[in-house]
Structure 1
Amino acid sequence: MSARPAVRIVVVDDQEVVRAGFAALLDTQPDFTVVGTAADGGEAVLRCREQHPDVVLMDVRMPTMDGIEATRRIRAGADADAAPRILMLTTFDLDEHVYDALVAGAGGFLIKDVTAERLFDAVRVVAAGEALLAPSVTRRLIGEFTRLRPRPPAPELAELTPRETDVLRLVAEGLSNAEIAARLVVGEETVKTHVSRVLRRLGLRDRVQAVVVAYESGLVVPRSDVR
């Protein structure tokens, strides 16, 4: 059996020491290869066009073009499966800029003081096509900022079947397909089919945007006891 190709990564941060540090750390893993770095969002867009990475480690706050606009441009018009997966980097765990980045199409976020093992795990999760939603801080962030900036319910939610609504609610709670299957006592392939239908009916690119819609619409209410 042939080995899987290494995950191709671009690291984006306006601080050279941070950029070089993350790149060197990621390059220690045999299943990763850093194919480029960038000092701002504009460079990030160019590197992605040149190198076609699988994952982009993207700083949120940068001069010239920030990580939000870069994420929007990288993900815009691209097939959800073909576009690079974006992992946002931030200094603060409750940062409204990260919420905006998730809306723009980022697959999750990490705090810059993340441990090496957590960083490696996050890259592998996102590269595999899963959204990085499990950490409670991600759900807390989405919940907090949708509470502060509520939007009217999405009319498309009415088009979902009861089972699709259940699946969307569980996705928004951070459950994986396997966990949803166990909760609903159905097969994992059935869950994948339901998730695909939910994304198609709501016109969404990925699970992260589904989570945002679920919170914004009030389908899922932020829990005050999440830490």
Structure 2
Amino acid sequence: MNEAGTALRSVRVVVVDDHTIFRSGLKADLDSRIDVVGEAGTVDDAVRVIAEQRPEVVLLDVHLPGGLGGGGREVITKSAPLLGTTSFLALSVSDAAEDVVAVIRAGARGYVTKTISGAEISDAVIRVADGDAVFSPRLAGFVLDAFGTSPAEIADDELDRLSARELEVMRLIARGYSYKEVAKELFISIKTVETHVSAVLRKLQLSSRHELTKWAAERRLL
């Protein structure tokens, strides 16, 4: 419960990784907003547990034993009927472009590396559950290179609606930076970042970070 007496949202999550020690450490690091309802260490077990638990988000390692050898990508493919209600967030030691692109093509909503903190992973889970696409900053370029469309004409009046600071914030958010990372990069408060993001979404008539990322990618503004 928060100070106002309102229950905080809890996101149901399944953790998939072939290292038991890592799964245990990850579960201990996730904050109280995350409710781990299942875990698995192989492709086959992951598909079964996901089908049984129907989680909101699956934290999914890219390289897994079992199945037909397709790892995390195979888990997503075999769980395709659930993609409307279950989102997949890849969590891996690998930052190879081919790994990132493979799981995103399969249907994952994001990809973060295991170097980030428990708090950052928790935030990423919440964002994915809310419909955002989440990437570690340096990985976003792989996705844009693989999925970006041909450069679109940029309407001057669209960009003219944004202040210089709003444009800076928009670019960082679209690249996958968290509010905290944007605040640190631009030497402003998190509250100020939130204010700028709200203004950008309103001015561009967008409803989410996911739409903002797509908008920026189509115009090659990243």
For this structure pair, what is the TM-score category when the shorter chain's length is used for normalisation? Answer: 0.5 to 0.7
1:8 aligns with 2:12: yes
Write the letter of the residue equivalent to 2:35.
T
Q: Which aligned segments of 4 or more residues in structure 1 are displaced greater than 3 angstroms?
A: 77-80, 150-153, 169-185, 219-223
Report 1:12-31 matches (<5 A). 12-26=16-30, 29-31=31-33
- Could you tell me how far apart the structure 1 residues matched to 2:206 and 2:216 are? 17
RMSD over aligned CA atoms reads 3.9
Change (3 A) 1:20 1:181: closer
- Could you tell me how far apart the structure 1 residues matched to 2:10 and 2:104 are? 25
| Aligned 8 A contact 1:90 1:98 in 2 | no
Change (3 A) 1:58 1:178: farther
Write the letter of the residue equivalent to 2:140.
R
Write the letter of the residue equivalent to 1:34.
V
| Corresponding residue of 1:191 | 206
- Could you tell me how far apart the structure 2 residues matched to 1:13 and 1:79 are? 20
| Corresponding residue of 1:125 | 127
Secondary structure (helix, strand or coil) at the match of 2:131 reads coil
Secondary structure (helix, strand or coil) at the match of 2:134 reads coil
| Corresponding residue of 1:137 | 138
Percentage of matched positions with identical amino acids = 28
Secondary structure (helix, strand or coil) at the match of 1:186 reads helix
Report 1:140-179 matches (<5 A). 140-143=141-144, 146=146, 174=176
| Aligned 8 A contact 1:11 1:19 in 2 | yes
| Aligned 8 A contact 1:93 1:141 in 2 | no
Distance apart, 1:106 and its partner CA: 0.9
| Corresponding residue of 1:47 | 49
TM-score, structure 2 normalization? 0.65
Q: 1:93 aligns with which of 89, 92, 95?
A: 95
Q: Deviations over 1:151-206 (max 9, x none)?
A: 986xxx9xxxx79x99xx9796559998676347627xx312xx7xxxxxxxxxx9
Q: 1:61 aligns with which of 63, 85, 90?
A: 63
Unaligned runs of 5+ in 1: 196-205
- Could you tell me how far apart the structure 2 residues matched to 1:92 and 1:62 are? 12
- Could you tell me how far apart the structure 2 residues matched to 1:185 and 1:220 are? 18
| Aligned 8 A contact 2:112 2:134 in 1 | no
Q: Deviations over 1:109-156 (max 9, x none)?
A: 1111222221222122212222114x4213222245x2xxx8986xxx
1:70 aligns with 2:75: yes
Unaligned runs of 5+ in 2: 160-169, 180-193
| Aligned 8 A contact 2:137 2:175 in 1 | no
Distance apart, 1:33 and its partner CA: 1.4
